[in-house]
Amino acid sequence: MDGAAPSPPGPPGEAFFSCRNIHAYYGESYVVQGVTLDVQEGQILALLGRNGAGKTSTLRTIARMDAPALARGEIRLAGRSLHGLRSFEAARAGVQLVPEDRRIIGGLTVEENLLLSQVAPPRGWPIERIYERFPRLAERRRQEATTLSGGEQQMLAVARALAREIKLLLLDEPYEGLAPTIVREIEGIVAGIKAEGITTIIVEQNAIAALELADRAAILDMGEVVFAGEARHVLDNAELRADYLAV
């Protein structure tokens, strides 16, 4: 952040990403109520819960989006505090959010959407490397981006995040509205991202699909964490899934 003093190093042994007792509001609505999460470098955390549990609000709080406002708590990434940063500053620090609505820019081609994300440094993957990972985008590089299929737009949204310097990828409902065959393709992309060592938090209503990719899981209920542990524990615990995920 321009003109800002560097953040002090975190305590020995702290997680690559952590948020500690964060509380956030949309106006007067208390949407994130003391959430604590830890993710080690290269892991995937599945952040789960019923509709309205506070999952998207937690992602937006981590990404320092304009709303919800962080009332108190601490967010750290790679030893740096994100508290007090604005969204573009958090993005510069390596937090890349892929929102549920994808935010594809109309009137621009696939390639122009990617290049626009790299106008300001720090840059991430070169465009040609992105095309190697997403060959379908390479085929459609000159196509107007909003004319892509839903699955292709999701690929573009993820690729655009990778085009920026990335330390933490936040995926909000990446399988929403996609056909099962396309979901499997997006799953393969997320697995490939994990193989690249990119730390990821995924919010997904398709809990089983998210858990099968994840190392760890956290379940939210009414803005609070009610479970945090290994993803396998949730997969193996039908009672826990029935109580909080309805699956």
**Better pLDDT: 71 or 195:** 195
Q: 54: closest CA among 247, 183, 218? A: 218
pLDDT band (50, 70, 90) for residue 27: confident
| pLDDT value, residue 36 | 97
Percent of the chain residues past pLDDT 70, beyond the cut: 92
- Going from the C-alpha of 73 to that of each of 6, 37, 81, the distances in angstroms are 19, 12, 11
b/e per residue, 149-175, with b = 16+ CB within 10 A?
eebbbbbbbbbbbbbbbbbbbbbbbbb
pLDDT above 60 (res 41)? yes
- Is the torsion defined by CA of 189, 155, 159, 98 positive or negative? negative
Q: Residue 66: pLDDT above 80?
A: no
* Ordered structural domains, the chain, with CATH: 17-244 (3.40.50.300)
Q: pLDDT digit string (tens) for 170-185? A: 999 999 989 999 999 9
Closest CA to 101 of 37, 35, 174: 174
CA dihedral sign of residues 111, 114, 119, 121: negative
Among 103-112, 115-124, 134-143, the least confident range: 115-124
pLDDT tens per residue, range 191-238: 999 999 999 999 999 999 999 999 999 999 999 999 999 999 999 999
